[in-house]
Structure 1
Amino acid sequence: MIAGGAVMELSGLWDAGGAAIVLCGTLLATVLASGSRETLAASRAILSLFTRRFDYETARAEIAHDVEAMRRDGVVRASPVASTDREIASATDALVRGRSLRNLVAVHEEFQQQRVRSRKAALAPIRHAAEMAPVFGMAGTLFALSQMTLAEGAEGQLPGAIGMAILTTLYGLLLAHLVLHPLARVLERRMLAEEADRERLIEWLAGQLSESCPKASVHRLEKAG
Structure 2
Amino acid sequence: MTETLLDPQAIAIVLLGTLAATLLRCGVADSRLAIAGVRTLLDRPFAVDRAKAELSVQIREIADDGFIRAEPRHIGDTEFDSLSDLIIHQRSIQSLHGEHQKFKEARLAHAQTATRVFESAAELAPVFGLAGTLMALAQAPGPAAQGGGLVGAIAMAVVTTLYGLVAANFVFAPLGSAIARKSRREERDRDAVLAWLEQGIRQTGITDPQPRIEREAA
- Normalised by the length of structure 1, the TM-score is 0.86
In structure 2, the residue matched to 1:218 is: none
- For 1:152 and 1:120, locate their aligned partners in 2 and report how far apart those are by CA, in whole Å: 53
Counting only pairs closer than 5 Å after superposition, residues 72-221 of structure 1 correspond to structure 2 as 72-149=64-141, 153=145, 155-210=147-202, 211-214=205-208
Cα gap change, 1:178/1:151 in structure 2, threshold over 3 Å: closer, same or farther? farther
Cα gap change, 1:51/1:152 in structure 2, threshold over 3 Å: closer, same or farther? farther
Secondary structure at the aligned position of 2:68 is classed as: coil
Deviation at 1:64, TM superposition (A): 2.1
Deviation per CA, 1:71-105: give whole Å up to 9, x if none: 22222322211221111011121122222212122
Cα gap change, 1:154/1:23 in structure 2, threshold over 3 Å: closer, same or farther? farther
The answer to whether 1:40 aligns with 2:32 is yes
Deviation per CA, 1:94-142: give whole Å up to 9, x if none: 1222222121221111101111111111111111000000000000001
Does the CA-based 8 Å contact 2:91-2:208 persist in structure 1?
yes
- For 1:12 and 1:20, locate their aligned partners in 2 and report how far apart those are by CA, in whole Å: 15
Letter paired with 1:65: V
- For 2:96 and 2:6, locate their aligned partners in 1 and report how far apart those are by CA, in whole Å: 56
How much is the aligned-residue C-alpha RMSD, in angstroms?
1.8
Letter paired with 2:51: A
Counting only pairs closer than 5 Å after superposition, residues 27-66 of structure 1 correspond to structure 2 as 27-66=19-58
The answer to whether 1:24 aligns with 2:16 is yes
Give the fraction of aligned pairs with identical amino acids, expressed as a percent. 36
Letter paired with 2:62: M
Secondary structure at the aligned position of 2:46 is classed as: coil
- For 1:70 and 1:10, locate their aligned partners in 2 and report how far apart those are by CA, in whole Å: 66
Does the CA-based 8 Å contact 1:22-1:136 persist in structure 2?
yes
Deviation at 1:152, TM superposition (A): 5.9
- For 1:82 and 1:147, locate their aligned partners in 2 and report how far apart those are by CA, in whole Å: 64
Deviation at 1:187, TM superposition (A): 1.3
- For 1:46 and 1:151, locate their aligned partners in 2 and report how far apart those are by CA, in whole Å: 47
Deviation per CA, 1:42-84: give whole Å up to 9, x if none: 1111011222121111211223222211122222322211221
Number of paired residues?
Answer: 207
- For 1:102 and 1:143, locate their aligned partners in 2 and report how far apart those are by CA, in whole Å: 63
- For 1:17 and 1:91, locate their aligned partners in 2 and report how far apart those are by CA, in whole Å: 53
- Structure 2: gaps spanning 5 or more residues: 210-218
Which is further off, 72-81 or 52-61? 72-81
- Normalised by the length of structure 2, the TM-score is 0.89
Deviation at 1:214, TM superposition (A): 2.5
Does the CA-based 8 Å contact 2:4-2:156 persist in structure 1?
no
Does the CA-based 8 Å contact 1:75-1:213 persist in structure 2?
no
